[in-house]
Structure formats: structure tokens, C-alpha cells
Homo-oligomer: A and B are copies of this chain.
């Protein structure tokens, strides 16, 4: 697996699984009805923030991540990231590779912390993955997320020092 910068030409391949995951509305606090061009603007970051894709040996895109500053001013040492794995390629370690890559990026870029602002508490596979990579639950907003089938559930804030 290789992780490389996302290019505009990757978007038609990212969009179907981006849309599938976002429209499902189970894991992200994103507008569920984002149109294709708005979604691209949303996902593609401007430097020094980054958007990357994970590809396999056939150059198939398996997943994507965006990595960005999370606070400004005197919180500018805190980074964040978001990850999307194509469900067609789940269970292959793509998420883990993207999370680990983003941690390395944040460390190399001089950040002191990574923080996830809104991890849906029913997204237990993601939470377990983050915890296995050193992230902790720093707090929870009870009923912060309206899950389409489970009703109001909490949003965790998670973080790890770098």
C-alpha cells in the first residue's frame, strides 16, 4: 500500500465512497447531501494542510484522508484528520495505514497534539483503531449526534500527544 497526495483526477474515484459514507450519516458530522463539487472542495485541503489517498499495487484507491490544523492562534499546535475507507476495501488495514500516516505527518509538521473533534460513539471500530494507535477519549458531548437508526448518541473528543 502506498499513500500519496490526492490529485484532482482522483476525485471521480473518491466521490462514490465519499458519498456512500457521508450520505449514510452514521459516522461523520458532514452535511449528508453534499453535491459532488462541493464535496470535493470540502475534502481537498489547501497547503500546508493535506489530502492523501491510499492506493494498492494496481493503483486502486482504497481510502483517503485529510489532515489539517485544528485550532488557530495559541492552539495552532493541534492538528486533526479525517479518514474515509472505501467499504469495498475494508478489513485490509487501510484505516490503520491512514491514521498512522497522519500521525507521522503531524509530528513532522511540528504539531504537538492530534485531536478528533467529533467521533461518533457508535463508531466502535474506528474508536478501537484510534485507541490502538495511542488516541484517548478526552471527553464526550452527550447526544451530540443524531444517528439515523440509533437516535441521539454521543460525540467523543479524542486526542493523542505526538
**Copies of the protein in its oligomer:** 2
Query: Taking the nearest CB of chain B, how far is it from the CB of A112, in angstroms?
Result: 7
Instruction: Let me know if A74 and B113 touch, CB within 8 A.
Output: no
Cβ-defined partner of A31 (8 Å) among B29, B72, B148, B161 = B72
Instruction: Let me know if A141 and B113 touch, CB within 8 A.
Output: yes
Interface size counted on chain A using CB atoms at 8 A: 37
Query: Taking the nearest CB of chain B, how far is it from the CB of A78, in angstroms?
Result: 6
Asked if A147 is an interface residue, CB under 8 A from chain B, the answer is yes
Q: Interface code A96-124, partner B: CB below 8 Å = 1, 0 otherwise? A: 00000000000000001101011000000
Q: Interface code A117-135, partner B: CB below 8 Å = 1, 0 otherwise? A: 1100000000000000000
Main secondary structure of the interface of A (DSSP, over half): strand
Asked if A43 is an interface residue, CB under 8 A from chain B, the answer is no
Please name all residues of chain B whose beta carbon is closer than 8 Å to the beta carbon of A6 when the two chains form the complex.
none
Q: A117-B117, A157-B157 are in contact. Are A73 and B141 (CB under 8 A)?
A: no
A residues lining the B interface (CB < 8 Å): 22, 25, 28-32, 71-78, 112-113, 115, 117-118, 137-148, 152, 155, 157, 159, 161
